[in-house]
Amino acid sequence: MAGSLNPDRSEWDVIVIGGGPAGETAAQYATRFSGLDAVIVESELVGGECPFWACVPSKALLAPVHLLATGRDLGGTRPLLADRHLDVDGVLNRRDAIVDHFDDGRQVERALGWGLDVVRGRGRVTGEKTVTVDGRTLRARQAVVVAAGSRPHTPEVPGLREARPWYSRDVTAVHEVPRRLLVLGGGVVACEAATWLRALGAVQITMVERSTRLLTDQEPFAGTAVADSLRASGVDVRFGQTVTRVERPTINDSGVGRIHGGPVTVTLDSGATLRVDEVLVAAGRRPNNEVLGPGEGRPVDEHMTVEGMPWLYAVGDVSGESYLTHIGKYQGRIAGEVIAARAAGRSLDEAPFNRHTDLVRRGAAAQVIFTDPTIGTSGLTEAGARRQGYDVETVEMDLSQLDGGRVLRDHYRGRTKLVIDRRTDVLLGATFVGTEIAELIHSATVAICAATPISALWHAIGSFPTLSDMWSHLLESVDAQRMAASRPSP
């Protein structure tokens, strides 16, 4: 039976606070074969950050940028595109269509179609199985799931908040492209946003990252490739620096994606000052875990349950485990399956690939960063694996001479690395850098998740001439390394 929007009732089996990818999925999985009913409490748009303000608009903005970059690097299309620019209105209109002009009708219909109720309002856990939504009390018979997402972090810099800077929502919903932009941070949001804003007409972008490289969670060569590419496109990337003061005398209430006032003067710790039209704060995110009420600050176990509160679950960004849609949905599936099992009085499954345990937190998360070149990562980096105590073997390959890459671009730039556990001879991690590697990273995720031995991967042959052909070359290099290591020294 279809669910209802804002029904006049106050008790369900399951209450989910937050209708983003993680919350929607948890509600769907808790109810789909269990006979339980559930409500999603949502204060903004059902669907959450991802389809309206994050993943989907950012990738919609980047798709034409990548196509243009590839076309400019191919004999035959280069003369057509060399001095041509993007049709900015066309790109922004396409983005607006892809985000359904901020109408969550499709997502609400989908939730109601799954039999879920939807209540619009701001919820918070206020007691055991109790949620307060704008003064109204709702009770859950079985479980409460908090899927309230995260918010951008603002570093404590004098004048920064007062200057009303841009955050990620302003760049994904961009309407006015600033001519001169300072980007605070050099992580994923900063690198992707600088890529599309530069292509859409920002003439001066200065990126200030306090550490010594971009994308610090990834293999160092990934950040180097993106820094080289951003610099080649004219972005001024500065490492080991931060912002110490921000001054903006005139503020406008212009709205999301529009320039928020007059010129901004930014002082760096190097002593340099910059005058820009806008500042983008892309310095990480923090979970909205105040929504957990009495559960705030408690760890979330591998069944997505808040420690010591077996009726309370946290999934997605709010869990603090990762800030990725696909991982949030995976956690939602786990929480939903756990809730259904516990409600039916079944004990949790302990088989190796059971559906009640978050196995990805042990190291198999994948991510694609849609820069040029694109970064695809799965599992652990070498440094991450060593931190976890693994004895690792690594192999790396430059992709510029791979036929699968040479046919895609005249100057294909790419690099790949595998991290292998010496003790078990299985893959722990992979990083692929290059044009069109986004779809390919899943091959590594499957190998890592299934703990496929390297000896078996040797028989998984990629087609020629595609980028998948790199697998055979990488495994040949593993063979060569091992032969060299086993040969007695002269």
Ligand X SMILES: NC(=O)c1ccc[n+]([C@@H]2O[C@H](COP(=O)([O-])OP(=O)(O)OC[C@H]3O[C@@H](n4cnc5c(N)ncnc54)[C@H](O)[C@@H]3O)[C@@H](O)[C@H]2O)c1
- Contact set for ligand FAD, span 172-191 (CB under 6 A): 172, 189
Nearest CA to 313 out of 342, 286, 285 is that of: 342
Indicate whether 116 belongs to the interface with ligand FAD (CB under 6 A). Answer: no
Report d(CA 376, CA 228) in Å as an integer.
Answer: 17
- How far is Cα of residue 102 from the mean position of the Cα atoms in its chain? 20
Nearest CA to 58 out of 178, 200, 185 is that of: 200
Please state whether beta strands 11-17 and 136-146 pair in parallel, antiparallel, or not at all (unpaired): parallel
Amino acid at 349: D
Backbone angles phi, psi at 333, to 5 degrees: -60, -45
Which pair of structure tokens corresponds to residue 264? 């901004």
Alpha-helical regions (H) of 72-133: 78-81, 88-98, 105-113
- Minimum Å gap between C-beta 163 and ligand FAD is 20
316/376 with CB nearer ligand FAD = 316
Indicate whether 173 belongs to the interface with ligand X (CB under 6 A). Answer: no
> DSSP string covering 1-60, please?
----BS-S--EEEEEEE--SHHHHHHHHHHHTTT---EEEEESS-TT-HHHHHSHHHHHH
Question: Residue 22's binding partner, choosing from ligand X, ligand FAD, none, with beta-carbon cut-off 5 to 8 A by kind?
Answer: ligand FAD
Indicate whether 16 belongs to the interface with ligand FAD (CB under 6 A). Answer: no
Indicate whether 196 belongs to the interface with ligand X (CB under 6 A). Answer: no
Binding residues for ligand X, rule CB under 6 A, total 25
**Is residue 124 a contact partner of residue 131, using CB atoms and an 8 Å limit?**
yes
Query: What is the number of other CB atoms lying within 10 angstroms of the CB of residue 63?
Result: 15
- Minimum Å gap between C-beta 419 and ligand FAD is 22
The 303-332 site mask, x for binding ligand X (CB under 6 A), equals --------------------xx--------
Question: Residue 198's binding partner, choosing from ligand X, ligand FAD, none, with beta-carbon cut-off 5 to 8 A by kind?
Answer: none
The 55-74 site mask, x for binding ligand FAD (CB under 6 A), equals x--xx---------------
**Is residue 304 a contact partner of residue 334, using CB atoms and an 8 Å limit?**
yes
Indicate whether 209 belongs to the interface with ligand X (CB under 6 A). Answer: yes
Strand spans (E) along 293-438? 305-306, 309-314, 366-369, 375-379, 392-398, 415-421, 426-433
Stretch that binds ligand FAD, among 49-57, 250-258, 349-357, 390-398 (CB under 6 A): 49-57
Report d(CA 240, CA 251) in Å as an integer.
Answer: 30
432/471 with CB nearer ligand FAD = 432
Binding residues for ligand FAD, rule CB under 6 A, total 38
Indicate whether 17 belongs to the interface with ligand FAD (CB under 6 A). Answer: yes
The 214-253 site mask, x for binding ligand X (CB under 6 A), equals --x-------------------------x-----------
Instruction: Give the angle 144-147-149 at the CA atoms, nearest 5°.
Output: 155
- Minimum Å gap between C-beta 188 and ligand FAD is 7
66/124 with CB nearer ligand X = 66
**Of residues 17, 143, 202, 282, which one binds ligand X by CB under 6 A?**
282
Stretch that binds ligand FAD, among 21-29, 224-232, 356-364, 382-390 (CB under 6 A): 21-29
**Of residues 31, 288, 431, 443, which one binds ligand FAD by CB under 6 A?**
288
- Minimum Å gap between C-beta 79 and ligand X is 33
SS3 of residue 199 by DSSP: helix
- Minimum Å gap between C-beta 120 and ligand FAD is 9
**Of residues 12, 29, 323, 412, which one binds ligand FAD by CB under 6 A?**
323
Indicate whether 328 belongs to the interface with ligand FAD (CB under 6 A). Answer: yes
Burial of 442 (0-12, 13-18, 19+ CB in 10 A): middle
Question: Residue 242's binding partner, choosing from ligand X, ligand FAD, none, with beta-carbon cut-off 5 to 8 A by kind?
Answer: ligand X
- Minimum Å gap between C-beta 195 and ligand FAD is 12
Please state whether beta strands 236-239 and 204-209 pair in parallel, antiparallel, or not at all (unpaired): parallel
Token pair 């994050």 in the structure block, residue? 54
Query: What is the number of other CB atoms lying within 10 angstroms of the CB of residue 7?
Result: 12
Question: Residue 124's binding partner, choosing from ligand FAD, ligand X, none, with beta-carbon cut-off 5 to 8 A by kind?
Answer: ligand FAD
- Under DSSP, the state recorded for 295 is G
Which pair of structure tokens corresponds to residue 470? 């790199």
**Of residues 211, 224, 394, 452, which one binds ligand X by CB under 6 A?**
211
3/57 with CB nearer ligand X = 57
Q: Which residues bind ligand X (CB under 6 A)?
A: 155, 184-190, 192, 208-211, 216, 242, 282-285, 323-324, 367-370
The residues of the shown chain that bind ligand FAD, judged by CB under 6 A, are 17-23, 41-45, 48-50, 54-55, 58-59, 122-124, 147-149, 168, 172, 189, 288, 291, 316-318, 323-326, 328
